[in-house]
Amino acid sequence: MEILTALLLLWPYIVALTAVYFGTLIFYRLFLHPLAKFPGPKLAAITRYYEAYYDIVQNGQYIFKIEELHKKYGPIIRISPYELHIMDSAYYEKLYRQEGRWEKYSWAYDAFGVKDSIISTGNHELHKARRQPLNAFFSKAKVANQQDLIRRNLRKLCDRLSKVSGSKRPINLGAALSAFTRDVSTEFIIGKSYNDLDHEDFNIALTNMTTTGFGHIWRMTKHITWFGPAMKAIPIDWAMKMANDDTKAFLSMLKASHHTKELMAAATSPNPDEKTQRTIVHEIMDSGLPPSDKSFERVSGDLATVTSAGFETTSSALRLIFYHVFSKPEILQRLRAELATVRSSDGFEWRTLEQLPYLTSILMEGLRMSPGVVSRLARIAPDRDIIYKEGSIPAGTPVGMSILTLHMDETLYPDPRCFDPDRWMDLEVRKKADKVFAPFSKGTRMCIGMYLAWAEMYLVLATLVQQFNFEFDGASAKNFICSSDDFSPGTKGASLGGEILAHVMHLGLLPSNLVPEIYLFVLTLLFWVFFFPLFEMEAIFSQIKQIASTAGNPAKKSLIFQLHALAYSLEEVDDTVKRLSHLNLEAAVIRIGVDLKLFDLLSTSQIPLSVNKVVKSTGGDAQLIGRLMRFLASISVIEETGKDTFTSTNVSRNLTVPGSQAGFCHGFETSGPLYQELPSFLKRTRYQTPTNPTPTVLQSAYNFPGTAFEWFGTQPENLKYYQEYMAGRRQLTQEMWFSVYPVSAETEGLTDPENPLLVNIGGNIGHSCTFFKENFPDIPGRIILQDLAENIAVALKTKGVENMVYNFFEPQPIRGAKYYYIAHVLHDWPTSKCLEILQNIKAAMNESSVILIDEMVLPDTGVPSSVTTIDLEMMCAHASQERTQSQWDELLGMVGLKCLGTWEYNSVVCESVMKVVLV
């Protein structure tokens, strides 16, 4: 009674103190807070419940409300008492970048309920340490090596679709795609598939839970922090009794957490099973992380977030893409025609598909409209103010941008809600948009599973487009537009229903509405050749050329290969013998044409030239020159337009590009004699692989006792051809290793300008050092070019690059460099010499040093002829070779080194950069 009396007496003071507290807090946030100077709604500046209204009551609409607020208040606004938001496409690459310390806003990520997982780690240094062991696991090379895993699940998907092909019973394609991405993701990451593709309904309950339930729980827990933990605290068995089917499916998956313990036990076993697939658990447990980061709670948190991140994000984009591709015949037709240029009997290769411009444009357009994450991903600069235009943002302030808003910006993407792959077909437009095209985010927190998602999307779209037709029942484009912020896109149609009206399309059956265009062209061509030889065929050739004009380089090469194979398949015996036996004659006459400057003459003339006009410039006997030109026209090097009258062709024009004639002369004068000698040499050595540079084919061909490098020193003309050819290649080739390798991320903590940053071993005259310095001018540290004296004497004088005379068969004088970069050197030497070179580098390394080996990394199958040619040329001249990844790994293991990852930057010739460290 006394207590109640006291409370009655005190309540006016309690109310008054509460009013003073909140009044003071409101006044502070509106007028004294460091963010008070930024515009925005007053209510948002006072309380987070402003955002909670749109998140909870309005079901994830705050992302769209923020867009409205920008139209009223400008490009930078205050959206909560603590947070700013920017809508300015030019600023995106400055906020989401590799350089500097950038932390996450923990308030948004703690709601996931796994605070110590990589995705939820706010601290910059801690996140970097936790992510580092997984970088190589999710590298592009690792994913490429696991394509069989993706194809295996893809075959299961195709089998399921085939079973209902042609029937009236519709199948839920959205659920099927989700099941495919789940099975691939779990098998790739933890070595275990939950076989959702085998479920009769593709485990649609789990799809429904991930597309509708996660977002609601995440938004609720952001504002009611006990909600998520309370849900998590309920015993799973209890929850299963009360849950609906969708929740039960999710809880069943959670019950499999004991699998994490099994994986941890396998990863730490003193007697590991060599047949067991490595998982991310192995990478974490084998890393240098402290024991606290290897606990069950943290490892299971990483497993849950990393695997689930690859589920709905990828399948959501695929649903949108499949709807638009199969709803628009013109897109479907163009895509099938492009895919027909690269199809092989073994299925598609990811590295080939990603070179197809129209397929890539379709995927980019899909990811533009359905990026992996739509929520604002606030970043915090903990140690510095952020400059925006003329003002500054205080250190420690969460600042975010919404990628979906940028992807729907009409100034960047006209008619942004229209699915238009052609907007990406212009490479200049694509390059310009790349700064704000970020479906996997950018900077230090870029999606770690990006390459797995790309591989899945390329392979599943290409395969299903070539095998099936889909007609959708009741779906519309609105079903796939983001309508709520569920962290990932929340759409009106969470799952897609699709009725498959067409049977599996076997090309041999030739249903006319589905035959890929190139295949149809070839068959029509054969039909006309055999039955209607008098018909005009120019139309069909022009159609093939039209398709080729939109194809990327690998696709063109594949088309050339297929057309050559078609021509060869039509040959009689005598045709084959004459073609192959006269290859040397073709090369010899082209060599004469180069000497006469014939190709330059024809290519610069605006009109066809007669033999007599050619002779006035070249000299020589008119009859002889006419016979030579007639031969060149017969093999399509030049074109005969009339009697004794000729003009240039694509072949002859190619031979006028800088460096091309030198390259041909190098092949004819230097390599040609080696190829002539090769059969005799191998016969004498009983067909054993050459392992010593002296003697090899070169010594036999030229009767020279020294190495190929020593021979070049005695042949200035041959050396000149080679140097001019390589200079021409550098002008034509724009790809560089650092365009794909994470240099900025790995050098982020470097501060000492006196420490060696990059040592370019055998770097010739320094082009690579110059390009590196131009692209990374602000990374502190010394850049050093090393080569023999004769090359250093004529090396480029690049500011910030030191030129040093060095022989890589001697001890490396620069110790403890961050990077030892060695490009196209090891393929010039046999294994024994490669080991010497690597041993010298290894002796100079410290624990943080990395060897960057820039070489060809051959695929296990389907190596292009341009690469196999170089491989055999290396054998003839140097007793060396080009290597596959496994062969590189074997070589590195011999000297106590290991490859942590491989990044391919030029798929046409398999050029890649490998990250190599001490074992």
Residue 916: strand pairing partners: 851, 899
> Are 493 and 172 a contacting pair, CB within 8 Å?
no
Q: Which of 103, 131, 113 lies closest to 400, judged by CA?
A: 103
Is there a catalytic annotation at residue 258?
no
From the DSSP assignment, how many helices (H) and strands (E) are in the chain?
45, 22
Side-chain half-sphere of 897: how many Cα atoms within 13 Å?
29
Give the Cβ contact number of residue 776 at 10 Å. Answer: 17
Cα separations in angstroms, 548 against 119, 358, 365, 462, 555:
43, 12, 22, 18, 8
Report the alpha-carbon distance of residue 726 to residue 474 in Å, rounded.
58
Residue list for the binding site for heme: 447
Side-chain half-sphere of 609: how many Cα atoms within 13 Å?
24
Report the alpha-carbon distance of residue 557 to residue 908 in Å, rounded.
9
Please provide the DSSP assignment of 301-322 as one string.
HHHHHHHHHTTHHHHHHHHHHH
Helix axes 173-190, 450-467, angle to 10 degrees: 140
Q: For residue 56, what are the contacts with CB-CB under 8 A and spacing of at least 6?
A: 219, 220, 223
Residue list for the binding site: 447
Burial 323-338 (b: 16+ CB within 10 A, else e): bbbbbeeebbebbbbb
- Cis upstream peptide for 329 (omega within 30°): no
Total residue count of the chain as it appears in this document: 919
> Are 300 and 113 a contacting pair, CB within 8 Å?
no
Cα separations in angstroms, 602 against 46, 122, 607:
77, 65, 8
Cα separations in angstroms, 530 against 324, 524, 525, 527, 534:
40, 10, 9, 5, 10
Report the alpha-carbon distance of residue 640 to residue 786 in Å, rounded.
51
> Are 853 and 913 a contacting pair, CB within 8 Å?
yes
H-run or E-run covering 138: none
Q: What is the DSSP letter of 291?
A: G
> Are 196 and 153 a contacting pair, CB within 8 Å?
no
> Are 464 and 455 a contacting pair, CB within 8 Å?
no
Residue 823: strand, helix, or coil? strand
Which token pair is 479?
């079903």
The residue annotated as part of the active site, out of 199, 223, 259, 827, is 827
Which token pair is 842?
């290894």
Which token pair is 594?
């180069």
Rg of the chain on CA atoms, in Å: 32
Report the alpha-carbon distance of residue 75 to residue 40 in Å, rounded.
11
Give me the phi and psi of 313, to 5 degrees please. -60, -45
CA angle in degrees (0–180, nearest 5) for 145-367-748? 65
Q: Which of 308, 312, 331, 310 lies closest to 321, judged by CA?
A: 331
Report the alpha-carbon distance of residue 179 to residue 499 in Å, rounded.
17
Report the alpha-carbon distance of residue 554 to residue 426 in Å, rounded.
18
Single-letter amino acid code for the residue at 489: P
Residue bearing tokens 């390589």 = 726
Q: Where are the beta strands (DSSP E) in 359-441?
A: 379-380, 386-388, 391-393, 399-400
Report the alpha-carbon distance of residue 552 to residue 358 in Å, rounded.
9
**Positions marked catalytic:** 827
